[in-house]
Each structure stands twice: as C-alpha cells, then as structure tokens.
C-alpha cells in the first residue's frame, strides 16, 4: 500500500482495523463454540473497541478530506462495517444475541479487506449536487438500513442452519428457541432495516427534489433501492400468511438481501447506470 493514502487514512489504520475485526471474529466465534460466557464477553468488548476505532478512522477521514467520507466505494467500505458493528452491538445488548458478534465482525472484516485491496488512489471532491444537508442523513440512514438487513440475513441463515434436518423445528422456528428465537430476531432486524430503508428513500426523494427538481428520476440506483424496498415489503406481507412463516420466510429473507447487495455493488453492471454518469455510481 502506498503513501497516497496519507491524505485519507494511513494503510496501517486499515490493517489495524482488519486485525481488530479478525480478532473479534475469532474470539467471539470461540466463545460461541466453547459456550464460555467470559470469552463471549471478550468478543463483545473487542467488537465495541474495533467499532470505536472504525469511528475514529471515519472521523479522521472527514477532517482530512474536509467533507463527509461517504462518496467513494472505498469510503463506504469503511462506513458499512461501522454500521454493521453499531447495529449488532445494539441488538446484542438488547436481545442477548451474542451469536451475532463473530458474524458481524466477519462481515465488517470483509468490507475492510475490500477497502484495503482497492483504496482510493486520488482525492475525490464533492460535486455541487452532493453538497447538501441531505447527504449525510440520507447515506447514513441507508447504510444503517443495509446493516440491519445484513444482520437479518445472518440471523436467517443461522436459523436455517440450526434447523437443518429437523423438519418439525424448521416448520415452527419461531417457537423453538428462547429467549428470542432466531427467526423472530431475523424478522425484527428486517423491520428495523425496512423502517430505515423507508426513511432513506423519503430523504433521497426530498434531496433529489431540491437538487434537480425531481423527487424521482428513474435512475437505476433509485430503481434498485425501490426494488429492495418492494422485496422486503413483499416479505412482510408473505410472512402474514400462515404457511409462509418459518423456513419459507427465512429463504425469502435471504433472497431479499441479494437485492440489497445488487443495489449497493451491482449498479455498474446495468447499461443505463454506466452511461448516465449518475451521481449514485461509485468512483
């Protein structure tokens, strides 16, 4: 890694962040496998410490760049783990879901690795449209939503994994575990993520109106944000139908997260997105 990052954060910080999340994943994972409360607690505190370090990195970048560091893909690879860690810490504290810690740390580690692998090679300035009071709340709300939906994805996958081979449990996951069944926890995370998606969508519309005169432009990223929102709304409706709870709902939850990932990372694959010069495209 090179000196060009001195204007944002040093590569050493990225390596330290990766180390923090990796250590958290290992310690918290060991705590879950060994079922040792003390090791679990250590995993939690490690996640908290790495989260604080991640926050400091974002703060430093903000100062160095003299703008919110949420513009480029590299910058969002530092924001997303921050949000994942934040949402996971809250959920662990609220619902004693310590099982979440190693997976949240692993997800955050993956983001940090991507940031380390492909750092910004030059300073990116904010174009006029992004110099808006809506920029920070809109982006942060969306990444909080994505973090909630990532957590939901993890919990849904764990729930399916735990129920594998047990037909009865698979059909009635919500009644199988205590204190908060994984399927129920996954659903609660969807509710949180969906509420944040809704707020993010509304804020984006208000911002679009003030910048371009249109609250909706059928921009590919807007469309995929809408598709993601519709996908989770379909999930919420399907889950109200008796026989769509449990395993089916969990699989739909997993599928919905594919829409989140595509919205976040897939826009360059779309024909209009490549040629439109959309501000939603990451540089």
Partner 1 sequence: MTGLEGIAPLVLDPPADKPTQPWPLGRLFLGILGFVAFLVLAQHGHEDEEWRADLVAGMAVLAALGAWALWRARRTILETLTSSRFGAAILSAIAVATALGTFVTQKATDKDLEQYYGTAAADWIDRLFLAETFHSFWFSGLLALLVLALLLAVLRRPFWLVGQWGFLLGHGGMIMVVVGASIGSRWGVHGMLALHKGQQRDIVSRSEEEGDPQGPMRLGFALRLDAFEVEKYPDELRFCLYQTKKEARPELLQTVKFEQAKEWTGLRKSGLSFRVREHMPPTGESKPARHLITVEGALPFEVQVGQTYAVLGTQRSFKVVEFFPHFIYDIEKKRGVSVDNEPKNPALLVEEPGGGKDGTARQQWLFANMPGHGKKEGDLPLKYTYPGSVASVTIETRRKGEAAASGEVRLAAEARGGVCALSPELSLVFENKPGEPRSYRSKVSVMENSQAVKEATIAVNAPLSYGGYEFYQSDWHKDDLNYSGLKVVRDPGLGVVYAGMIMLSLGVCFVFYVHPRLKSAARGFSKQ
**Of 33, 49, 52, 234, which lies in the binding site for partner 1, with binding defined by CB under 8 A?**
234
**Of 53, 62, 113, 226, which lies in the binding site for partner 1, with binding defined by CB under 8 A?**
226
- How many CB atoms are located within 10 Å of the residue 279 CB? 16
Cβ atoms of 155 and 178 closer than 8 Å:
no
Give the span between the Cα atoms of 27 and 204, in whole angstroms. Answer: 39
3-state helix, strand, coil in the chain (%, to 5): 75, 0, 25
Nearer to partner 1 by Cβ, of 127 and 165: the residue is 127
Cβ atoms of 257 and 107 closer than 8 Å:
no
Cβ atoms of 219 and 280 closer than 8 Å:
yes
**Of 60, 238, 254, 281, which lies in the binding site for partner 1, with binding defined by CB under 8 A?**
238
**Of 121, 167, 175, 258, which lies in the binding site for partner 1, with binding defined by CB under 8 A?**
121
Nearer to partner 1 by Cβ, of 7 and 166: the residue is 7
Q: Does 123 bind partner 1 (CB under 8 A)?
A: yes
Burial of 223 (0-12, 13-18, 19+ CB in 10 A): middle
Shortest separation between residue 91's beta carbon and partner 1, angstroms: 15
Q: Does 70 bind partner 1 (CB under 8 A)?
A: no
Shortest separation between residue 232's beta carbon and partner 1, angstroms: 9
Give the span between the Cα atoms of 74 and 124, in whole angstroms. Answer: 11
Shortest separation between residue 2's beta carbon and partner 1, angstroms: 5
Give the span between the Cα atoms of 224 and 278, in whole angstroms. Answer: 13
Determine the interface stretch with partner 1 among 31-39, 68-76, 162-170, 215-223 (rule: CB under 8 A): 215-223
Q: Does 224 bind partner 1 (CB under 8 A)?
A: yes
Give the span between the Cα atoms of 160 and 166, in whole angstroms. Answer: 10
Determine the interface stretch with partner 1 among 52-60, 79-87, 123-131, 153-161 (rule: CB under 8 A): 123-131
Q: Does 4 bind partner 1 (CB under 8 A)?
A: yes
Determine the interface stretch with partner 1 among 16-24, 84-92, 175-183, 187-195 (rule: CB under 8 A): 187-195
Give the span between the Cα atoms of 243 and 180, in whole angstroms. Answer: 21
**Of 131, 166, 268, 283, which lies in the binding site for partner 1, with binding defined by CB under 8 A?**
131
């Amino acid at each position: 890694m090179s000196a060009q990052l001195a204007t944002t954060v040093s590569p050493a910080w990225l390596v330290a962040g990766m180390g923090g999340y990796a250590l958290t994943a290992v310690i918290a994972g060991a705590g879950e496998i060994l079922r040792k409360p003390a090791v679990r607690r250590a995993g939690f505190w490690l996640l908290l410490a790495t989260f604080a370090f991640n926050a400091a990195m974002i703060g430093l970048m903000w100062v160095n760049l003299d703008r919110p560091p949420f513009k480029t893909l590299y910058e969002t690879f530092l924001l997303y783990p921050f949000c994942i860690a934040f949402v996971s810490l809250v959920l662990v504290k609220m619902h004693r879901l310590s099982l979440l810690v190693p997976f949240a740390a692993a997800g955050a580690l993956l983001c940090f690795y991507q940031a380390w692998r492909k750092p910004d090679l030059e300073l990116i300035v904010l174009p006029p449209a992004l110099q808006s009071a809506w920029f920070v709340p809109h982006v942060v709300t969306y990444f909080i939503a994505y973090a909630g939906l990532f957590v939901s994805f993890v919990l849904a996958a764990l729930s399916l994994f735990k129920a594998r081979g047990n037909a009865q449990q698979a059909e009635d996951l919500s009644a199988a575990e205590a204190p908060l069944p994984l399927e129920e926890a996954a659903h609660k995370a969807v509710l949180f993520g969906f509420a944040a998606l809704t707020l993010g969508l509304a804020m984006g519309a208000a911002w679009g109106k003030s910048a371009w005169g249109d609250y909706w432009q059928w921009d590919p990223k807007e469309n995929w944000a809408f598709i993601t929102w519709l996908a989770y709304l379909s999930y919420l409706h399907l889950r109200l139908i008796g026989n769509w709870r449990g395993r089916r709902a969990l699989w739909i939850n997993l599928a919905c997260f594919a829409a989140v990932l595509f919205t976040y990372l897939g826009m360059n694959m779309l024909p209009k997105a490549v040629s439109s010069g959309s501000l939603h495209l990451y540089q």
